[in-house]
Amino acid sequence: MKIFADSGSDLPKEFFTENNVELFTLRVDLNNQQYNDILDIDPKVVYDAMREGAVPKTSQVSPEVFLKQFEALAKNDEEGIYIAFSSNLSGTYNTAVMIASQVRENYPNLKLKIIDSKCASLGHGLLVLEAVRLREEGLAYEEIAQKITHMAEHMTQLFTVENLSYLAAGGRLSKSSAFIGGLLSIKPILHVEDGKLIPLEKIRGRKKAINRIIELMAERGGDFSNTVVGISHGDDLEFAKEVQALIEEKLHPKAFEITMIGSSIGAHAGPGTIAIFFTDKDY
């Protein structure tokens, strides 16, 4: 069985080859050059360029890539699950559904489940990790798709950004709000609800924002003893490890996954972003 995932899952390049997961790359435009996320460009290059004033842009996975992979799946009579980046943050999911529909016209027995994760970054990545684990356990692909869909519905995604101007540049925040927020050291706490970015609270100061996020984690996650917590960061591993230590001290989760936010998401969130992911207490 094949597992497909987007580069928006923010898993490292070697993960895909080591775990036999097919990678669909979003595209990043930086200084008039287009790159395939993960394969052609390192996120640190994007973050350094943003610190110098560059405004990268991103675009969805190429339809031709979907067509090639889905036709190969059908011709080889293989089963596949594609865990897609949130449909409310990228057109990638909808394009994949359209291409799969086209392929089914010629190959009506195409065995492919496409899941709208409604997640981004390591929230998406945790779903992919779980799918790989379930495949290793030998579960049928329909059952894996069902379990991953259920997990996606219970994924909590909380994050804060270091610099509001990056969200403003990407159209996620007004420029006047970003300017005033910068003067006051305002750090917004945002979450992803039904796949959309939703502001939750405004906190003054980065450390206070993180402490508030941990309070929200306790409210939403309950007992963390069997929960894996994902932490992704915008080129600030040192601070991510500080956050890990704070979460460990207060919530004692089962394990952590830490990764750098990749180019396609980092292009909008900017350097210094910290994002936390976990399944809620109803999962």
**Interval 62-93: pLDDT, tens:** 999 999 999 999 999 999 999 999 998 889 99
Specify the pLDDT at position 124: 97
Count of domains in the chain? 2
**CATH number of residue 18's parent domain:** 3.40.50.10440
| Dihedral sign, Cα of residue 21, residue 5, residue 170, residue 196 | negative
**Residue 176 falls inside a structural domain:** yes
- From 98, 130, 153, give the residue that closes a domain: 153
- Intervals of the chain under pLDDT 50: 172-184
94 and 198 in a single domain? The answer is: no
192 and 253 in a single domain? The answer is: yes
**Residue 239 falls inside a structural domain:** yes
- From 134, 153, 172, give the residue that closes a domain: 153
- From 153, 177, 202, give the residue that closes a domain: 153
- 21 neighbors 155 (Cβ within 8 angstroms): no
Specify the pLDDT at position 185: 63
- 169 neighbors 185 (Cβ within 8 angstroms): no
- 138 neighbors 260 (Cβ within 8 angstroms): no
Specify the pLDDT at position 184: 46
**Residue 159 falls inside a structural domain:** yes
**Residue 177 falls inside a structural domain:** yes
114 and 245 in a single domain? The answer is: no
**CATH number of residue 204's parent domain:** 3.30.1180.10
- 10 neighbors 264 (Cβ within 8 angstroms): no
Specify the pLDDT at position 167: 63
Contacts of 4 (CB under 8 A, 6+ apart): 21, 22, 23, 24, 69, 80, 81, 82, 83
149 and 159 in a single domain? The answer is: no
186 and 270 in a single domain? The answer is: yes
199 and 272 in a single domain? The answer is: yes
89 and 110 in a single domain? The answer is: yes
**Residue 241 falls inside a structural domain:** yes
**Residue 262 falls inside a structural domain:** yes
95 and 166 in a single domain? The answer is: no
Q: What is the SS3 assignment for 263?
A: helix
Terminal Cα distance for the chain, rounded: 25
Phi–psi pair at 128, nearest 5 degrees: -65, -45
206 and 147 in a single domain? The answer is: no
**Residue 40 falls inside a structural domain:** no
Identify any residues that bridge with 228 across adjacent strands, giving them in sequence order. Answer: 255
**Residue 246 falls inside a structural domain:** yes
Specify the pLDDT at position 193: 84
Specify the pLDDT at position 197: 77
Residue 204's identity, in one-letter code, is R
Specify the pLDDT at position 138: 97
Structural domain of 207: 155-279
Contacts of 140 (CB under 8 A, 6+ apart): none
Name the burial class of residue 76, with classes exposed (0-12), middle (13-18) and buried (19+) by CB atoms within 10 angstroms of its CB: exposed
67 and 148 in a single domain? The answer is: yes
Tokens of 263: 């180019």
22 and 124 in a single domain? The answer is: yes
- 147 neighbors 83 (Cβ within 8 angstroms): no
- 160 neighbors 213 (Cβ within 8 angstroms): yes
162 and 260 in a single domain? The answer is: yes
Pure H helices in 121-262: 121-136, 141-153, 164-169, 175-183, 206-221, 237-251
